[in-house]
Amino acid sequence: TWNAAKALEAFGLSASEVNPGVFDGKEWKASGDVHEALNPSTGEVLAKVQFGTKDDYERCAANAVAAQKEWQLMPAPQRGEIVRQIGNALIEKRDAMGALLSLEMGKIHAEGKGEVQEFIDICFIACGLSRSIPGQVVPSERTEHALMEIWKPLGTLGIITAFNFPHAVWGWNAAVSLVCGNTQLVKGAESASLVTIATQKVVSDVLKANGVDGGVAVLCQGEGPVVGDAMCRDPRIDLLSFTGSTKTGKIAQRLVHERSGQTVMELGGNNAILVMPSADIELALRSCVFAAAGTCGQRCTSLRRLLVHEDVYDELKPRLVEAYKKLPYGNPLHPKTLVGPIHNKAGIELFERTVQDAQSQGGKVLVGGGRPDASELPSEDLANGNFVQPTIVEIDPHADIVQEERFVPVLYLCKVKSFEEGIAINNQVEQGLSAALFSTDMREVFAWLGPAGAKQGVVNANTSCSGAECGLAFGGNGSTGWGRECGSDSWKQYMRRSSCAINFGKTLPLAQGIDFS
Ligand code: UN1
């Protein structure tokens, strides 16, 4: 079994001394404010972390940019081999990193290990990619000419992660981008600093063992207005990959685009599941509970809006409420726990406000709605933890609050009259991350996947709207930000394309038949 001391020790983190949150490629050294890393299950301080300042950032950025000069010249399969070794190193650390995620983020150990697994998987995808990054040769209209496309490294990538997936988001970007020949500067979520430092250590150790310049992957842990802002404004950061709220993401996006930089944005979702009369209700039920209450409702892909056809509404509703009543919540490291705490105190406030707002907009709380009292929690040490009851509110799908993403375990249950109405409601929000349909009618399934169906970036059928696999491109449309990470052709975002025309003859025919003699 894991505890804080053991999990910290696995990564050489200290419980008593201040841990520097900056690795500039050469040494661990930070000079900013000292921040306390808290355990959301107990409220206790896990460790102290020193953040970076503007000067620390400057050193990190300079080293990452300098290291790129050499890194870009290493053959991609050799970079792929190094990324493969990062995957292997993480296999060794999967349990420990999973435990640190439970302790600092608050997700259950199974999900913590799952997050590490996603990083491992993308390392192996990226290793394969390193030997297969494609390019095209297309016929030229000019005699003795060849046209081809070459993909080259972009330069230096900035990665800003969110507290809910502080490890996996790092991996989805880093594994692919490193193979593509970029170096990187990471700023992790402030409240997930220990996981961020632990991840950096694993990556840096592998680079060091391979004799690679540490500047290939640097870390500047720090505050958004200091380090995040510097990354957005720094022309040396060729691409900024940002995961977080739509509000902050839009500011970051504007700053980067103003200086003609590129972005990969993974912002808020407001995801729906539509359940039709032909659905396998048991499957739908289990998927909805996982998608809405899992990770305590703190995934971008969490289910927020459950749209149930009126013919099966009265069948699904009581079963869902029953399932919620039985959800074991408590210590995320306990193997029987399914729902851990909410990540921080602000989340508790948001939860309470969300329940109140929903009620004032006509919503009716079917289950949950408050905080458990001490007697409902499995052990005494959890009394100061950020526990809230997973909640279901029955509400009109057009209520204002249902159009917003609130990062708390409050599920809106809404009745719909038809498939068409369900699609319209699914699509009416500005966000567009993920959605799922439960139906065994293949006409509905294909209509749902088709052009007039769900508008989201992740569109599922008969499985949850959360829990996407990294083999596909992951990301969302609309105000979710249009970014794509992980598999498929997401790698293209981390490269620059040259369109090349090569004359291998002795004459100079011009394109479009132009005569210039
Ligand atoms: C997120 O919530 O930020 O599909 C991403 C999923 C995970 C990724 C979630 N693979 O739920």
| pLDDT per position as a tens digit, 217-273 | 999 999 999 999 999 999 999 999 999 999 999 999 999 999 999 999 999 999 999
Segment 348-376 mean pLDDT: 96
Classify 250 as helix, strand or coil: helix
Check: CB of residue 67 under 8 Å from CB of residue 183: yes
| pLDDT per position as a tens digit, 80-113 | 999 999 999 999 999 999 999 999 999 999 999 9
* Residue 271 Cα to ligand 1 middle (Å): 12
Residue 467 Cβ contacting ligand 1 at under 6 Å = yes
* Residue 30 Cα to ligand 1 middle (Å): 31
Segment 313-333 mean pLDDT: 97
For residue 78, pLDDT beyond 90: yes
Q: Which helix (H) or strand (E) holds 170?
A: helix 168-180
Compute the distance between CA of residue 404 and CA of residue 299 in angstroms, rounded to an integer: 14
| Helix segments in 213-343, DSSP class H | 229-233, 246-258, 281-293, 310-325
Residues of the chain with pLDDT > 90, as a percent, come to: 98
Mutate to test the pocket of ligand 1, among 466, 480, 484 (most ligand atoms within 8 A of CB): 466
The whole-chain average pLDDT of the chain stands at 98
Residue 468 Cβ contacting ligand 1 at under 6 Å = yes
* Residue 139 Cα to ligand 1 middle (Å): 41
| pLDDT per position as a tens digit, 62-73 | 999 999 999 999
Minimum-distance ligand 1 atom for the alpha carbon of 162 = 3
What is the pLDDT at residue 205? 98
* Residue 296 Cα to ligand 1 middle (Å): 13
pTM over 0.95? The answer is: yes
Report which protein residue has its CA nearest ligand 1's atom 3: 300
Minimum-distance ligand 1 atom for the alpha carbon of 118 = 10
What is the pLDDT at residue 374? 84
Minimum-distance ligand 1 atom for the alpha carbon of 299 = 2
**Chain mean position to CA 33:** 27
Minimum-distance ligand 1 atom for the alpha carbon of 165 = 3
Segment 341-348 mean pLDDT: 98
* Residue 300 Cα to ligand 1 middle (Å): 6
For residue 42, pLDDT beyond 90: yes
Compute the distance between CA of residue 468 and CA of residue 366 in angstroms, rounded to an integer: 29
Report which protein residue has its CA nearest ligand 1's atom 6: 467
Classify 35 as helix, strand or coil: strand
Residue 164 Cβ contacting ligand 1 at under 6 Å = yes
Minimum-distance ligand 1 atom for the alpha carbon of 458 = 4
What is the pLDDT at residue 473? 98
Residue 481 Cβ contacting ligand 1 at under 6 Å = no
Q: Tell me the pLDDT band of 373, cut-offs 50, 70 and 90.
A: confident
What is the pLDDT at residue 4? 97
Residue type at position 286: R
Contact residues for 377 (Cβ-Cβ < 8 A; gap 6+) = 329, 330, 383, 385, 387
Give 479: exposed, middle or buried? Use CB within 10 Å, 0-12, 13-18, 19+: buried
* Residue 333 Cα to ligand 1 middle (Å): 20
Which pairs from 166-170 meet CB under 8 Å and 24+ separation?
Answer: 166/101, 166/105, 166/192, 166/195, 166/196, 166/199, 167/97, 167/101, 167/115, 167/116, 167/119, 167/195, 167/199, 168/115, 168/116, 168/118, 168/119, 169/243, 169/266, 169/485, 170/119, 170/196, 170/199
| Helix segments in 298-384, DSSP class H | 310-325, 345-360
Active site residue 266: yes
What is the pLDDT at residue 442? 98
Segment 120-141 mean pLDDT: 97
Residues in the chain: 517
Q: Tell me the pLDDT band of 292, cut-offs 50, 70 and 90.
A: very high
| pLDDT per position as a tens digit, 451-463 | 999 999 999 999 9
Catalytic position from the list 118, 190, 266, 485? 266
For residue 369, pLDDT beyond 90: yes
| pLDDT per position as a tens digit, 416-451 | 999 999 999 999 999 999 999 999 999 999 999 999
Residue 172 Cβ contacting ligand 1 at under 6 Å = no
Minimum-distance ligand 1 atom for the alpha carbon of 243 = 3
Give the 3-state DSSP-derived string for 61-104, with helices as H, strands as E and coil as C: HHHHHHHHHHHCCCCHHHHHHHHHHHHHHHHHHHHHHHHHHHHH
Mutate to test the pocket of ligand 1, among 111, 271, 273, 299 (most ligand atoms within 8 A of CB): 299
Classify 435 as helix, strand or coil: strand
Compute the distance between CA of residue 127 and CA of residue 178 in angstroms, rounded to an integer: 10
Contact residues for 353 (Cβ-Cβ < 8 A; gap 6+) = none
Tokens for 512? 């479009």
| pLDDT per position as a tens digit, 207-219 | 999 999 999 999 9
What is the pLDDT at residue 375? 86
* Residue 270 Cα to ligand 1 middle (Å): 13
Complex ipTM above 0.95?
A: yes
Compute the distance between CA of residue 315 and CA of residue 291 in angstroms, rounded to an integer: 19
